[in-house]
Amino acid sequence: MPRTTQLLHPNRSPAPARVAATVLLLRDGPLGLEVLMTRRSARASFAPGAYVFPGGGVDAADTQNHTLATRRIGQQAQHLTEAIAAIRESLEELGVLLARHADGSWATQADIEALDRQGDFFAQCAARSLTLAADEVFVLARWIADRDLARRFEVPFLVARMPDGQHPVADESEQFEPVWVRPADALARHHAGLFFMIYPTIRTLERLDAFADVSALLDACAVSEEPLWTSCPRAGLLSGREARYMEHELPFGELALVCPDGQIVHPLDWQTERVVPLLKNLQRLTAPNPGAMTGPGTNSYLVGDPDTGYIVIDPGPADAQHLEKLWRAAGGDIRMIVCTHSHPDHAPGARPLQAMCAPTPPILGLPSAPTARAASTFTPDRALLNHELLTLIPKGLEGDLAYNSGHTLEVIYTPGHAANHVCLVLLQDGLLFSGDHILNGSTTVVDPPDGDMNDYLTSLDLLRTTCVQLGVGFILPAHGYAMGGPGDEALAAIDRLKAHRLQREAKVMAAMQALPDGTPDDWLASAYADVPERMWPVAKRSLLAHLARIASNVGY
């Protein structure tokens, strides 16, 4: 993890999260799955006026009354407590009771009308010999309120089928206007400004919209006692306004790096006019070369500070204005220029940037191989050694003090995307500069003969091992936002990338088996059917790399 001394924003502890539970009551309507929602009081302290699912805080009594509920095999005690809390809240807020009589029949509307919704829930259920149907309440998701909020909750979102013969009636104090609605309709009405909802509700409905009916959703949740997803969203600024993101979305890792405690201050707009501070010792300037192959543009990184000078990683194309901004951001004090590889969106800026500096910094990297395309010809001033350390230290410091106050990059050879590709690890802060080997939002092209799929996957395994050994928490790609987090998010990103590559290779093999006399173009149309056809010329390069790997591996 980055040193606290390098964080841009002072540490602050998020407010503790109160445990609560909510339940999505479901039914099958004429056009598919419908969910029961209700409008919160305009005077509510949390989400006033929002349309929500019924729920509330978990009470001690919910834990103490497990014997009044039916429990399915494997249902954890915590999940049982949460299900009981959700059942209780459903009665209190909407007059819906997920409970059965001894003969297995559902509680009736008459049973519900005989209950005092504000009285002792458990005593009344016991008196009427009603057993809470916790075994039919499944975990869908777990939401943890954003770190920036003063009032926070940790809430399992549970799902259950609405009992036959019951009709929701709001309590008219906390909840109003119960309504059955299709997820797609609720989202459309929200976007039209007619149905206000908060972020977790919106994102949950987006997921629900993928299920055709109640059975499909319940079956998916019944596979495991674990939620289908868990999220504590993070927020940044997009076009000057707050924008929130879940863990699987592209900006999430960058927000975790820059604002680990949830401050909403980091701009996420891609622009090329100025450097973007990520840490005190890390700045990013995106080159003005956006496109299908470069995404928002090539990221040039500045590592260092005014006391140590700076290392530039990937100066980018030979764009005079881009290089001028890099030079100015470093105050002219550039000690080294490192190119992760020789492709034309990464290395051509090295020589003109070097010419702007005095004293002259060395250009470091690996020379392009004979297999490189003409536009990727590159000769550094010195070839980097595998595991070589590139060090910046403040003047006058030695030993541990110099190391702890400085910035040390370890070189990792990673051929695959290009024969001369290297990655770098900033040791003191656990940051991996991945060049084009790992990108955010897309997979890199492996273009033979300079690109090699066997080498690429081997290097990917090496990077995973390196991240574990060196405590890497974040990945800084040459295209896209930073990736990672305080847990295993960086490792998970690598695992997803490898799994994607192997899945694509399986599709290539399936295409070859289906069309044994086919050509690469025939196999391309099948193996990359999920990729826009305009991208097939690029995808074909990676297909050829997969074909070479398949041919080289025994048993394929």
Q: Residues 379-429: pLDDT tens digits?
A: 999 999 999 999 999 988 888 888 999 999 999 999 999 999 999 999 999
Residue 100 has pLDDT above 60, yes or no: yes
| Amino acid 503: pLDDT | 96
Helix (H, G, I), strand (E, B) or coil at 399: helix
Residue matched to tokens 């110099």:
402
pLDDT-based confidence at residue 366 (cuts at 50, 70, 90): very high
Whether residue 266 contacts residue 234, with contact meaning beta carbons closer than 8 Å, is answered with: no
Using left for φ > 0, alpha for ψ between -120 and 50, and beta otherwise, residue 47 falls in: left
Beta bridge partners, 48, equal none
| 521 phi and psi angles, rounded to 5 deg | -65, -35
Q: pTM of the prediction?
A: 0.91
Mean pLDDT calculated for residue range 302-309: 97
The secondary element (H helix, E strand) that includes residue 91 is helix 77-94
Residue 11 has pLDDT above 90, yes or no: no
| Amino acid 79: pLDDT | 95
For the chain, which residues make up each domain, given as ranges?
17-232, 271-495, 503-552
The secondary element (H helix, E strand) that includes residue 201 is helix 199-208
Average pLDDT of the residues of the chain: 95
Is the Cα torsion angle 436, 439, 441, 446 positive or negative in sign?
positive
Q: Which residue blocks in 99-182 are alpha helix, DSSP H?
A: 109-114, 121-127
Q: Which residue has the higher pLDDT, 115 or 556?
A: 115
Establish how many alpha carbons lie within 13 A of residue 300's alpha carbon, considering only the half-sphere containing its beta carbon. 36
Whether residue 288 contacts residue 335, with contact meaning beta carbons closer than 8 Å, is answered with: no
Question: So what CATH class is 17-232?
Answer: alpha beta
Residues 332-358: tens digit of each pLDDT: 999 999 999 999 999 999 999 999 999
CA angle 164, 197, 180 (to 5 degrees): 20
Tokens read off for 375: 């536009």
**How buried is residue 424: exposed, middle or buried, by Cβ count under 10 Å (0-12/13-18/19+)?**
buried
CA dist., res. 435 & res. 422, Å (int): 7
Residue matched to tokens 């220029």:
337
Establish how many alpha carbons lie within 13 A of residue 61's alpha carbon, considering only the half-sphere containing its beta carbon. 11
| Amino acid 37: pLDDT | 95
| Amino acid 170: pLDDT | 86
Strand ranges (DSSP E) for 8-134?
17-29, 32-40, 51-52, 55-57, 99-100, 131-132
pLDDT-based confidence at residue 172 (cuts at 50, 70, 90): confident
Cβ atoms within 10 Å, residue 522: 14
| Amino acid 454: pLDDT | 96
271-495 has which fold? Answer: Metallo-beta-lactamase; Chain A (3.60.15)
CA dist., res. 284 & res. 281, Å (int): 10
CA dist., res. 9 & res. 280, Å (int): 9
CA dist., res. 454 & res. 84, Å (int): 53
Whether residue 160 contacts residue 136, with contact meaning beta carbons closer than 8 Å, is answered with: yes
CA dist., res. 5 & res. 401, Å (int): 14
Residues 313-336: tens digit of each pLDDT: 999 999 999 999 999 999 999 999
Tokens read off for 251: 């900006």
Residue 479 has pLDDT above 90, yes or no: yes
Mean pLDDT calculated for residue range 273-277: 97
Mean pLDDT calculated for residue range 179-206: 96
Beta bridge partners, 299, equal 286
| Amino acid 290: pLDDT | 96
Report the percentage of the chain scoring pLDDT > 90.
90
Residue 554 has pLDDT above 60, yes or no: no
Whether residue 338 contacts residue 476, with contact meaning beta carbons closer than 8 Å, is answered with: no
Q: What is the dihedral of CA 238, 242, 245, 250, to 10 degrees?
A: 10
Mean pLDDT calculated for residue range 430-435: 98
Whether residue 37 contacts residue 178, with contact meaning beta carbons closer than 8 Å, is answered with: yes
Packing angle, helices 453-470 and 489-514, rounded to 10: 160
Residues 6+ apart with CB under 8 A from 333: 306, 309, 310
Mean pLDDT calculated for residue range 208-235: 95
| Cα 331 to chain centroid, rounded | 34
Q: Which residue blocks in 248-349 are alpha helix, DSSP H?
A: 252-258, 320-329
**How buried is residue 307: exposed, middle or buried, by Cβ count under 10 Å (0-12/13-18/19+)?**
middle
Residue 556 has pLDDT above 70, yes or no: no
